[in-house]
Amino acid sequence: LKADNAIDTDSVIKFGWMGNILKPPYIADWPNQALPAHLVTLKFIIKNMAITGITPVNITFSSLSTGYEGQSTNAQINITSVYHGQHAFTQTIKNNQSCSPSVLIEITPKTQTQSYAVESYLPIGMIPVQITDNGIWFESKQAVMWGTFQDDNVRALSYAITGTTNDAFKTIHSVASFDGYSQLSVDSQEIIHDCSLQQVQPSVFSPVEGSIPLTITISCPTEGVSIYYSNDGSIPDINAYLYEAPL
């Protein structure tokens, strides 16, 4: 932009552009200051994920001064797309409503991403263990942090959860930062960390009586339990006989 004459202190140079880059058109003010006749370079950044290929943009420059009619000039520039796709970022809670839930975070950065980092925030009382990919637990922030990764590689980050909590619903959410400025946040997800002891139902003897010789079977309605028994009238513990077959 060439200013043919000196510009007064109350003058301002304005520039803006029309087209499908920004809606409504963006207008920026050049600082109110005295400018001598010279070439002025205006540097601006256009951010729009919809730009594809080469897009023409019309730009209008205007010089305004108090008490004088302003002058304008038009120019057209071509903007080449730097769009390389969207970031993919998901969070999944596995084994929810159990004593050993875990969190899986899957990231697929868009092509030519220079760097990115990930943070996952836990509620108070939950502690992450088995953190993958050199993630670090910052207790003061209640967050697991990964990165900065200096690449655009696909990653699956995860950690398991322990700690002293009740079975109330709590929330976990994660945030990623790509190239230091664009962030994409995963919606908070509810999680139940339930470590309450399961009540085992009483063992069942069959038959409950009979004459010798007699074959007795022992079963339990609760799945996955081990049954111990004694034959001397004492209360069995884990050091007693383990039931494995009919007696």
The CATH number assigned to the domain holding 163 equals 2.60.40.740
Q: Which domain holds residue 113?
A: 88-191
Per-residue pLDDT of the chain (247 residues; tens, 9 = 90+): 444 444 444 444 444 443 333 333 334 444 444 444 444 555 555 544 444 455 555 555 555 555 555 555 666 666 555 445 578 888 888 877 777 788 999 999 988 888 999 999 988 888 899 999 999 999 999 999 998 999 999 999 999 988 765 555 678 889 988 887 766 677 677 776 666 656 678 888 888 888 888 888 888 887 777 888 888 888 888 788 888 888 7
Q: Name the domain count of the chain.
A: 3
In this prediction the pTM is 0.49
Tell me, yes or no, whether 203 and 167 share the same domain. no
Residue 76, in any domain of the structure: yes
Beta pairing partners, 73: 61
Residue 4, in any domain of the structure: no
Can you tell me the distance from the alpha carbon of 22 to that of 19, in angstroms, rounded to the nearest whole number?
7
Of 80, 99, 125, the one marking the end of a domain is 80
The closest alpha carbon to 157, from 56, 89, 212, 79, belongs to: 89
Residues 6+ apart with CB under 8 A from 103: 91, 92, 93, 94, 120, 128, 158, 159, 161, 172, 174
Tell me, yes or no, whether 211 and 149 share the same domain. no
Residue 119, in any domain of the structure: yes
Of 80, 98, 129, the one marking the end of a domain is 80
